[in-house]
Chain A
Amino acid sequence: GAVVSQHPSWVICKSGTSVKIECRSLDFQATTMFWYRQFPKQSLMLMATSNEGSKATYEQGVEKDKFLINHASLTLSTLTVTSAHPEDSSFYICSASPTGQDTYEQYFGPGTRLTVT
């Protein structure tokens, strides 16, 4: 149980285009989902906390207009990287916290590797 999927697994896009990444909780409902970014040889960096039906909470230094988050249902959150640039190339990981449990109990998706050329 507690499976989280991400789509796509990897994506290559041209500079200036937008990319949408989906995060789904497959066998549980998740009021809260998290989006992380990880650069090579670095630790996870929390980008934003996404709550179903409300606006996401972004961490300091993360541009909310560039990284659009939508959490329209209890099983789906999306991250859209708008006007992507090569410096946005990274490993993006989502996690989901089952509804009713403490939000530090997170189940991770497999990640999406974004390469912007």
Chain B
Amino acid sequence: GQNIDQPTEMTATEGAIVQINCTYQTSGFNGLFWYQQHAGEAPTFLSYNVLDGLEEKGRFSSFLSRSKGYSYLLLKELQMKDSASYLCAVVDSNYQLIWGAGTKLIIKP
């Protein structure tokens, strides 16, 4: 079966750095997305990785290792508004999106 694992919840301090991991076992791989979802709102796109390595975009970076079936989202200089759920989603061999359950990130002052 297809499986995506993320921690259920993480807590971090304002101004700090946090890394949210995502491991996947899917039938094929055609890319991995990270989305941010605030409570009661729809997901918003953060990043898309299809090649190995680190993609940096402002305070957010996303890393992918296809051989390890592993990705992480790195958030720097955390702000209170970063409190949200972070969803990892993988595009499988049929070009379907397989969603992780999401990681709820709690930022404390």
Which residues of A line the B interface, CB within 8 A? Answer: 41-46, 91, 93, 102-104, 106, 108-111, 113
1/0 contact trace for B74-102 toward A, CB 8 Å?
A: 00000000000001000100011101111
Hey, which chain A residues are within 8 Å of B87, CB to CB? Answer: 43-44
Interface size class of B (residues with CB under 8 A): 10 to 19
- Contact (Cβ within 8 A) B101 A109: no
Least CB distance, B7 to chain A, in whole angstroms: 13
Not counting A43-B87, A93-B42, A104-B30, a sample of 20 additional A-B residue pairs whose C-beta atoms are within 8 angstroms of each other reads A41-B104, A42-B101, A43-B99, A43-B100, A44-B43, A44-B87, A44-B99, A45-B99, A46-B97, A91-B40, A93-B43, A102-B91, A104-B33, A104-B96, A104-B97, A106-B97, A108-B44, A109-B42, A110-B41, A111-B40
CA of A103 to CA of B89, assembled, Å: 13
Partner of A104, one of B41, B91, B100, B104: B91
- Contact (Cβ within 8 A) B42 A110: yes
Q: Which residue of A lies closest to B104 (CB)?
A: A41
Q: Which residue of B lies closest to A103 (CB)?
A: B95
CA of A23 to CA of B60, assembled, Å: 30
Hey, which chain B residues are within 8 Å of A110, CB to CB? Answer: 41-42
1/0 contact trace for B41-59 toward A, CB 8 Å?
A: 1111000000000000000
- Contact (Cβ within 8 A) A111 B41: yes
- Contact (Cβ within 8 A) A43 B95: no
CA of A56 to CA of B71, assembled, Å: 32
14 A-B pairs with CB atoms under 8 Å apart are: A41-B104, A43-B100, A46-B97, A46-B99, A93-B43, A102-B91, A102-B95, A104-B30, A104-B33, A104-B91, A106-B97, A110-B41, A111-B40, A111-B41
Hey, which chain B residues are within 8 Å of A113, CB to CB? Answer: 40
